[in-house]
Amino acid sequence: MIIPYRVTTLTMRSPWANLVLLALNIVMFALTAAQVLSDDQISHLILADWSPPAFIGYQFLHAGFFHLAGNMILLWVFGNALNGIMHDLDFTLTYLAAGIVAGGLHLVVDGAPVVGASGAISGLMGLYLAVYPHNEVSCFYWILRPGTFDVKGYYLIVGWFLWDVISALRGVPGVACWAHVGGTLAGFGTGVLLLKMGRIHIADYDNPTVLDVFSRRRE
């Protein structure tokens, strides 16, 4: 088990949009757990077909506490760092769009009903790969014994992406691996586009983005 708990980045603003997304996920989980929402209302938010409301709704539903907790840890770690260098609207649209792409690929390839924020959060990890490939991510692990380690973002995220691809091809049950794959690709592509448009502003003395890395290689 590997859990990221901190990233090393230089933020420029408070991550209000990410905090709202965190709150919405937690509130939706509380409403469903308390049975405030009816089964019929919840069924319309589960992504099981090409219903437009479900493409947004499924991103805020979770199958249990640990499903929610795991996703919220990742959203806190990567979302706060990225929202800190992006306008709230750009960040929110990127998050939701990655979730939509993730859900679409899942429906095309898998087709089983799906809930959870992991597709959208995979999008944030793909975005992090584009913006901060060399920034370190601190992780907690429990493999035989507990401990921590630091790893550059591109090692961690590319490794997770390849694991998701392999798991998707093998048909690992109980995990929407194709949604993770779609979200990561959507987030990375969006990150490259926003960097080219100048919509993401990182400090001049921070580590190079993926565009900087490839431009230096061409020189």
- At 140 the three-state DSSP class reads strand
* Other Cβ atoms within 10 Å of 36 Cβ, number: 10
pLDDT at 140: 96
The domain in which residue 189 lies consists of 2-218
pLDDT at 132: 97
Give the whole-angstrom CA distance, residue 47 versus residue 81. Answer: 28
pLDDT at 143: 85
CB 107 within 8 A of CB 47: yes
| Cβ neighbours for 214, distance < 8 A, ≥ 6 positions apart | none
Give the whole-angstrom CA distance, residue 165 versus residue 124. Answer: 17
* Other Cβ atoms within 10 Å of 169 Cβ, number: 11
Give the whole-angstrom CA distance, residue 134 versus residue 136. Answer: 6
pLDDT in tens, 47-76: 999 999 999 999 999 999 999 999 999 999
Task: List beta partners, residue 35.
Answer: none
- Average pLDDT across each block of 10 residues of the chain; the chain has 219 residues. List them in order: 92 93 98 93 96 97 96 98 96 98 98 97 98 96 92 97 97 93 98 95 86 72
Give the whole-angstrom CA distance, residue 150 versus residue 141. Answer: 11
Instruction: For residue 134, give the CATH number of its domain.
Output: 1.20.1540.10
Q: Whole-prediction pTM value?
A: 0.95
pLDDT at 130: 98
Maximum CA extent, the chain: 60
Number of domains comprising the chain = 1
Give the containing element (helix H, strand E) for 98: helix 88-109
